Amino acid sequence: MPIKRVLTAAVLIPLVYALVQYGSPFYFFLFITASAAVGLYEFYRMFKNGGYHPQSFVGILAGVLVVTGFYIGAGAKGGLTCVFSPDVMVAVAFVVALLFRLFSERDTNGAMVDVALTFTGVVYVAWLSAYIVLLRSWNEGGVDGRDLVFLLCLVTWATDSGAYYVGSKFGRHKLYPKISPKKSIEGAVGGLAFSVGMAVACKYWFYHELSMQDAVMLGAIMGIIGQMGDLAESMIKRSARVKDSGGLFPGHGGMLDRVDSMLLNAPALYYYTKVALAAKIGG
């Protein structure tokens, strides 16, 4: 593994651990909001380099609004819950993108392509990132939000690592060459096995409230969805004709290159936890 990749991970992992373990949900929200803004900047820059014209400023502003709405909505009561619901905030983001394009000085050729790209960035980066904020803010059923964030990170990283190492050593059959020629079926199976193993390890390590059945199920679900998230970002990069989303992290690429799997895993973990908790209470 390249030394830059190792050194970058050695710096980032302790910082993320300290922020989650010792920082308040508010500081974590600020971190995720800043990360989403960087991810949106990368998303729009990729497509601008490909000859498109997304509204970067509007998209980043709308993305910050969406993540902020999720954070406020997580602790809101009564009417505020409706005002800052995910549906409302995403709808507001779309209207903002549409109106800014309507009154811009650019001609109408390709106007809806611009709006679609702007709004897609908000949903793909900001809306999905906001679920990480919801996980950290979790305070139901005796479950600590920090445990959920650690589970998300560790299982996602285990999936990526397992797919990389197993695929590098044993990969023979292409998984999806049209999108990612280097990924193999063997690597995907390895990533899934690592994901399940890490979820079970998390149960014994720190997330003792998690049942064995839920650990295995979560590991399998996140192992599959996480790898689909990786492929989805590869598709986005190919459509924008770039190799990496950016160069923010030496040896790792850009922000989106690091969180592509996590973006899809966060809502999966959030809703699985809700369903599992509801079933437990109902039982």
Please report whether residue 74 resides in a domain.
yes
Please report whether residue 5 resides in a domain.
no
Say if residue 129 is in the same domain as residue 146.
Answer: no
Q: What pLDDT is recorded for position 241?
A: 81
Please report whether residue 3 resides in a domain.
no
Say if residue 208 is in the same domain as residue 158.
Answer: yes
Interatomic CA distance for residues 184 and 199, integer angstroms: 23
* Cα-based torsion angle of the residue sequence 265, 28, 258, 267 in order, rounded to the nearest 10 degrees: 10
Say if residue 281 is in the same domain as residue 168.
Answer: yes
Handedness of CA 6, 126, 73, 279 (dihedral sign): negative
Say if residue 108 is in the same domain as residue 188.
Answer: no
Report which residue type is found at 200: V
Q: What pLDDT is recorded for position 257?
A: 87
Please report whether residue 19 resides in a domain.
no
Please report whether residue 7 resides in a domain.
no
Q: What pLDDT is recorded for position 79?
A: 47
The H or E element spanning position 182 is strand 180-184
- As beta bridge partners, residue 176 has 180
pLDDT digits (tens, 9 = 90+) for 25-36: 999 999 999 999
Say if residue 148 is in the same domain as residue 76.
Answer: no
Domain termination residue (choose one: 137, 159, 184): 137
pLDDT digits (tens, 9 = 90+) for 123-180: 999 999 999 999 999 988 888 999 999 999 999 999 999 999 999 999 899 998 888 8
HEC string of 209-235? CCCHHHHHHHHHHHHHHHHHHHHHHHH
Domain termination residue (choose one: 105, 137, 169): 137
Is residue 102 helix, strand or coil? helix
- The total of structural domains in the chain comes to 2
Q: What pLDDT is recorded for position 203?
A: 95
- Percent of the chain predicted with pLDDT > 90: 57
Please report whether residue 193 resides in a domain.
yes
Say if residue 281 is in the same domain as residue 178.
Answer: yes
Closest CA to 154 of 209, 221, 219: 219
Domain termination residue (choose one: 108, 137, 166): 137
Q: What is the DSSP letter of 172?
A: -
Please report whether residue 15 resides in a domain.
no
Say if residue 104 is in the same domain as residue 210.
Answer: no
Report which residue type is found at 280: K
Q: How far is CA 196 from CA 73, 166, 215, in A?
A: 32, 15, 7
- Per-residue pLDDT tens digits of the chain, which is 283 residues long: 567 667 777 778 888 899 999 999 999 999 999 999 999 999 999 999 888 889 999 999 989 989 988 888 776 544 455 566 667 777 888 888 889 888 888 888 888 998 999 999 999 999 999 999 999 999 888 889 999 999 999 999 999 999 999 999 998 999 988 888 889 999 999 999 999 999 999 999 999 989 999 999 999 999 999 999 999 999 998 888 887 777 776 656 788 888 999 999 999 999 999 988 777 755 4
* CB contact at 8 A, 135 and 148: yes
Say if residue 156 is in the same domain as residue 235.
Answer: yes
* CB contact at 8 A, 248 and 255: yes
Say if residue 30 is in the same domain as residue 117.
Answer: yes
Domain that holds residue 59: 24-137
Q: Which long-range contacts (CB under 8 A, 24 or more apart) does 185-190 make?
A: 187/162, 187/163, 188/163, 188/227, 190/162, 190/163, 190/165, 190/166
Say if residue 147 is in the same domain as residue 280.
Answer: yes
Please name the residues in contact with 13: beta carbons below 8 A apart, sequence gap of 6 or more: none
Please report whether residue 274 resides in a domain.
yes
Say if residue 68 is in the same domain as residue 42.
Answer: yes
Q: What pLDDT is recorded for position 78?
A: 45
Q: Which two tokens stand for residue 130?
A: 């906001």
Q: How far is CA 88 from CA 65, 70, 95, 131, 173, in A?
A: 11, 10, 11, 15, 44
Say if residue 28 is in the same domain as residue 162.
Answer: no
Closest CA to 277 of 229, 212, 221, 211: 211
